[in-house]
Amino acid sequence: MALVHQIIDFIDDTDRSLFKVASESAPKQLLGKNVLTAEERELLDPSQFALVMHSKEAQVLKKFPITDDVNTWLSSRYFEKTAEQLPFVAQKIAATHLKRACSFYGVSAPEMVTKLASSGISGNTYHEVKSYKEDREYDRSVQVTEVTADGSEHFYALDRRYPMPDGAFVKKASQYFQDHYREFLDVEDRATYARNVLARADELKCELSKEASSLLSTYGGSSYGDMLSSQIRVRQNLLEDRPELSQALSKLASHKAGTAPETFARALHLFDKRASLTKYYDSYLADPYKSTFGMSKKATGYRWEDSTSGASIDGSKLVKVAQEKYEEIKSHFGTTLAESLQKHPEQIFESLPTDAKLVIVNIAQGVL
């Protein structure tokens, strides 16, 4: 069953079957406090939820509100009951933010929340892939196939995982990256994986699809793309109230000419971590490798089309939706993205994942 149709938190629980069970164990200090209504929840910023999922149906699902002590406590208890319905990566994202909120508000965190939480997670966004129930399809196929390393340093795509003994496995690895790269929470892993797949394809003279090569080159390329200037500006917008960091970013950008692209991407990643910008990755800020190597489509005659759904938008309509549908975009993605999209529509749109692009296309068409 699609995520959009499942009971995940207390707003989904219309018959209050889980609510009754959870309420019985509520701490005394929370009794009598108000739980969010569906209407109040709709007014919340995405940052006020432990998990924001972009579904494969191009819907934005905001789950587990963490606005205060009672709603954080209730969200964490629902998570105990419903976590297994979520993809594993989504579980870890939600648990991480629930644990932090529990600590902040001084309420006890369930054992499952504590167990799944990770200090390495920053953002609260999860993008549902088209076949998330087959998240380990690649690994399962390898388990039933005998493979022997041939001595190539690129035999494995990442940490002795995802072996590529022949061209068929190289293509499998490239497809796996297309479907799941956003689930590699460490962007350095994305880069390593992409570089090894590209190098192995070259070793075996394996021709990859244009789409696969383009995405892999976005993380494992050898030359600067044309997105970096716009992505630096997006970061500058986020740092308007932090002039010392804004100046440091300008200084870093000034060294681009004499710096190898991969070295620059790593330095930008370190900066993002220092400035606490990693939480914006894969929502409206391109990660350091995509910022450095990524290629945007030119503004002149701009047009984007999703090969799977056929959904499309051209440059003029993108500018129009950014200006006229500001409030709708803000409600889905927050103020910063909505404002950045108005200032740099093509560049920001190109930096978004496909499911986020589809949300904006649907807004432009009046579907959302």
List 125's β-bridge partners, or say none. 52
Beta pairing partners, 305: 312
Burial of 297 (0-12, 13-18, 19+ CB in 10 A): middle
pLDDT of residue 300: 41
Computed over every residue of the chain, the mean pLDDT equals 82
Of the CA atoms within 13 Å of residue 278, those in its CB half-sphere come to 17
In the chain, which residue ranges form alpha helices assigned H by DSSP?
Answer: 17-23, 38-42, 69-82, 88-105, 111-116, 137-143, 167-180, 187-203, 210-220, 228-238, 243-254, 261-274, 288-293, 315-324, 326-333, 335-343, 345-351, 354-364
Whether residue 254 has pLDDT greater than 90? yes
The domain spans of the chain are 3-127, 134-220, 228-293, 303-364
Compute the distance between CA of residue 285 and CA of residue 279 in angstroms, rounded to an integer.
9
From the list 5, 25, 1, the residue with the least C-alpha distance to 80 is 25
Under a CB-based contact definition with an 8 Å cutoff, are residues 230 and 347 in contact? yes
pLDDT-derived band at 289 (thresholds 50, 70, 90) equals: very high
Q: What pLDDT, on a 0 to 100 scale, did the predictor assign at position 248?
A: 94
Give the other-Cβ count within 10 Å of 91's Cβ: 21
- Position 133 confidence tier, pLDDT thresholds 50, 70, 90: very low
Q: What is the pLDDT of residue 5?
A: 55
| Mean pLDDT on 7-13 | 76
Q: Measure the N-to-C terminal CA separation of the chain; round to a whole number of Å.
A: 22
Q: Which of 42-46, 153-157, 229-233 has the lowest mean pLDDT?
A: 42-46
pTM of the complete model beyond 0.75? no
Task: Please state, in angstroms and as integers, the Cα–Cα distance from residue 192 to each residue in 14, 154, 269, 351, following that order.
Answer: 45, 10, 14, 20
Indicate if the alpha-carbon torsion angle 69, 75, 78, 83 is positive or negative: negative
Q: Is the dihedral of CA 314, 319, 325, 326 positive or negative?
A: positive
Distance CA 73, CA 109 (A): 8
The percentage of the chain sitting over the pLDDT mark of 90, rounded to a whole number, equals: 28
